[in-house]
Structure 1
């Protein structure tokens, strides 16, 4: 106990002496470094030449850490630029598709001056709340329902292409069955050949084309649009492009960005008017009737 007490008695003065010596050394170094004299300047130069180069090994970890920090900042900047370029590319694809559709409409209008666009085809925008999360049923939930006038069977699109159809409507929500779902079947037209086909979902990202009349006339890259057959979907909606799958089947690379389904447009498509009564047969002109009677006489 006495020895410990003696050590404590000496520790305090020694600590104070060490601190005072350190302060004196730092003060002296500061004064030497600030004195403006040729001799002191030569001393400083010799000191730097003698000792500073030997500390390069101590600066290696600091240099590496600074390099890693700068590399991480560069990576973050590159990642942000990449995301921005992705958004701009998607927007440019949308503009390109709009330009192609306008060009086709212009060509049709030049050929037929009496073409009329359907003014009833409007849309309701909805936010995607959740997806099914199942590999066997691919669907999403929208925050629009019967109060917004949503009806079963209406087509849904993202900013560029067809996504699916409404299948199940609640008051404030509705479910969209995607084109990739195994229960999805939509009639499509392949351009420029004009062939009709059925796009069949098979729970894969690239649904196949079934019931093709002449597959030899179809080439990868051909545009696929909705045909409007059956009156379920409006005609002319962009679906995607033809591709050849690994199983050698003709499939469709969908234009809709299924990885970023944040907002969808529900197209208000009204069914075509159906004839309930065929009515009486149209009688022939009077001249035809008289000629027939004269021939019989």
Structure 2
């Protein structure tokens, strides 16, 4: 700053100071009030901005806090998904058991519920082991029909005190006398040999060459032979062909034999 500006500034400051010093107390308060009135809006604005800034700072979360909260939300979401899956599984199981119970009450024969407790991968489509035996009312000699509410499964063979082997209808050793709905055709249903590792097919044999069965026709047990009660659904016709000596139909089982869990053993008439 040049000397020309310094000297006037100093003089103005001395005069203003002297003016203030020689003011009466009353006039001094008036000057102070006026000065405060001039600067108060700026003080208020500064205070408001400062408060908003502090509030903004307090409202911000650190990166570490956000990461922790995100982790908690991920864990909670996984727990909720697991709970929902469990509930859906329980609902499905409950519906399946309810349907089975309803079928048992409607059945025209006496049924003993059983659960599959063992299944060998090498004989997956041949046999299963259930948790019922002689002590539960099964015949020691076997040959009792096994089914679900959907249809025929097979029959008991080797029976011990508390378990029994069930040969499935997809096994060649299981032969079932059958009839075709809406026709006079009858034959024998049995499992058919398949290449290793593949699902075996089931065939209805000894039909007449003129049978010409339509795809989707229902196949039921005929009751002949005494092992299987009549009227139990075995499956549906997939295709029909004439062979040299008879007619033959490939049958799709009514029961999904790959996912069996619970079955019924026919132990008598429901009278």
TM-score, normalised relative to structure 2: 0.58
Residue of structure 2 in register with 1:209 after alignment? 203
Identify the match of residue 179 of structure 1 among 144, 153, 169: 169
Residues in 1 aligned to 2:132 and 2:201: alpha-carbon distance in whole angstroms: 27
- Please state whether the residue corresponding to 1:217 is helix, strand or coil: coil
Higher relative contact order (CA 8 A, sep 6+): 2
How far residue 166 of structure 1 moved from its aligned partner, in angstroms, is 1.2
Q: Residues 97, 191 of structure 1: CA spacing in aligned structure 2 closer, same or farther, 3 A cutoff?
A: farther
Residues in 2 aligned to 1:74 and 1:199: alpha-carbon distance in whole angstroms: 48
Identify the match of residue 231 of structure 1 among 198, 201, 226: 226
Residue of structure 2 in register with 1:113 after alignment? none
- Say yes or no: does 1:128 pair with 2:124: no
Residues in 1 aligned to 2:184 and 2:99: alpha-carbon distance in whole angstroms: 23
Residue of structure 2 in register with 1:112 after alignment? none
Q: List alignment gaps of at least 5 residues for structure 1.
A: 1-38, 103-116, 271-297
Q: Residues 166, 58 of structure 1: CA spacing in aligned structure 2 closer, same or farther, 3 A cutoff?
A: same
- Say yes or no: does 1:46 pair with 2:53: yes
After superposition, what is the alpha-carbon deviation per residue over 1:87-118, rounded to whole angstroms, capped at 9, x for unaligned?
A: 3553576589799x89xxxxxxxxxxxxxx7x
Q: Residues 140, 95 of structure 1: CA spacing in aligned structure 2 closer, same or farther, 3 A cutoff?
A: closer
Larger relative helix fraction: 1
How far residue 186 of structure 1 moved from its aligned partner, in angstroms, is 1.5
- Please state whether the residue corresponding to 1:124 is helix, strand or coil: strand
Residues in 1 aligned to 2:162 and 2:99: alpha-carbon distance in whole angstroms: 32
Residue of structure 2 in register with 1:154 after alignment? 144
- Please state whether the residue corresponding to 1:70 is helix, strand or coil: helix
1:131–1:139 CA contact under 8 A, matched in 2:
yes
Residues in 2 aligned to 1:216 and 1:97: alpha-carbon distance in whole angstroms: 33
Highest CA radius of gyration, 1 or 2? 2
Residue of structure 2 in register with 1:169 after alignment? 159
- Please state whether the residue corresponding to 1:64 is helix, strand or coil: helix
Larger relative strand fraction: 2
- In the alignment of these two chains, the number of paired residues is 208
- Say yes or no: does 1:189 pair with 2:194: no
How far residue 236 of structure 1 moved from its aligned partner, in angstroms, is 0.7
RMSD: 4.1
After superposition, what is the alpha-carbon deviation per residue over 1:49-75, rounded to whole angstroms, capped at 9, x for unaligned?
A: 2475474x5455335323422331332
Q: Residues 136, 182 of structure 1: CA spacing in aligned structure 2 closer, same or farther, 3 A cutoff?
A: farther
How far residue 136 of structure 1 moved from its aligned partner, in angstroms, is 6.5
Identify the match of residue 132 of structure 2 among 133, 144, 155: 144
After superposition, what is the alpha-carbon deviation per residue over 1:25-45, rounded to whole angstroms, capped at 9, x for unaligned?
A: xxxxxxxxxxxxxx9987553
2:142–2:156 CA contact under 8 A, matched in 1:
yes
Alignment of 1:254-265 (within 5 A): 254-255=254-255, 258-262=258-262, 264-265=263-264
Q: Residues 139, 92 of structure 1: CA spacing in aligned structure 2 closer, same or farther, 3 A cutoff?
A: same
Residues in 2 aligned to 1:226 and 1:201: alpha-carbon distance in whole angstroms: 15
Q: List alignment gaps of at least 5 residues for structure 2.
A: 1-45, 240-248
